[in-house]
Structure 1
Amino acid sequence: MKTTHAHDVEEWLDSLDPERIEWKDAARLRAVAEARNEVGHAEQALRDAIRDAHEHGDSWTAIGMVLGISRQAAHRKYAGRQGNGRGKEQSA
């Protein structure tokens, strides 16, 4: 079974011996890990929303405008993630 980075971090944080390190509370590091996970979820939600918008007829120009980037940049970054075989970043 493949472990996730978050799981590895949780295991590492749980294994820390507060007597042997400077900090006594890993709550702040857990908050960093949680925020990192939330970023990952937000990025996936963004990709899903872009795919849905494009599949329902929104142009790359409109999508780029909403993202604050050019049509070309939006297409280059997200088109390959739609499973159409184009773009630099194709999902496996």
Structure 2
Amino acid sequence: MTMARTQHKTDVEEWLDTLDPATTPAKDARHLREIGQALTNLEDAERALEKAIADARAAGDSWTAIGAVLGTSRQAAHRKFGPKAAGRRS
């Protein structure tokens, strides 16, 4: 999921670079930059969460405890962040 968003962000940046400000009517791009920054922040937070969960598992924390912190069941936490899920995110 993160790779798809990263690729999309790269595609959008390349498209923005092709626009000619003299012929493309545009407002202040501040809000668009804020969207891009928020997307970057979200990707960074997702990576930090995945690392924190991997570190917790390596330290011996249970899926039940991790699920409780995430506000979900141990099964849902394992399904989303377990070893097989990590392979799908790569």
Shorter-chain TM range is 0.7 to 0.9
Which of residues 3, 12, 15 in structure 2 aligns to 1:12?
A: 15
Which of residues 48, 51, 58 in structure 2 aligns to 1:48?
A: 51
Shift of 1:59: 0.3
| Structure 2 counterpart SS, 1:90 | helix
**In structure 2, C-alpha distance between the alignment counterparts of 1:52 and 1:59, rounded to whole Å:** 11
- What is the TM-score when the length of structure 2 is the normalising length? 0.75
1:1-80 correspondence runs (5 A):
4-80=7-83
Aligned amino acid, residue 80 of structure 2: K
Structure 1 residues not aligned, in runs of 5+: 81-86
Shift of 1:9: 2.7
Sequence identity (%): 54
**In structure 1, C-alpha distance between the alignment counterparts of 2:15 and 2:33, rounded to whole Å:** 11
Higher relative contact order (CA 8 A, sep 6+): 2
Match of 1:84 in 2: none
Q: Structure 1 residues 5-14 or 29-38, which shifts more?
A: 5-14
Structure 2 residues not aligned, in runs of 5+: 1-5
**In structure 2, C-alpha distance between the alignment counterparts of 1:14 and 1:25, rounded to whole Å:** 15
Q: Which aligned segments of 4 or more residues in structure 1 are displaced greater than 2 angstroms?
A: 3-24
RMSD: 2.2
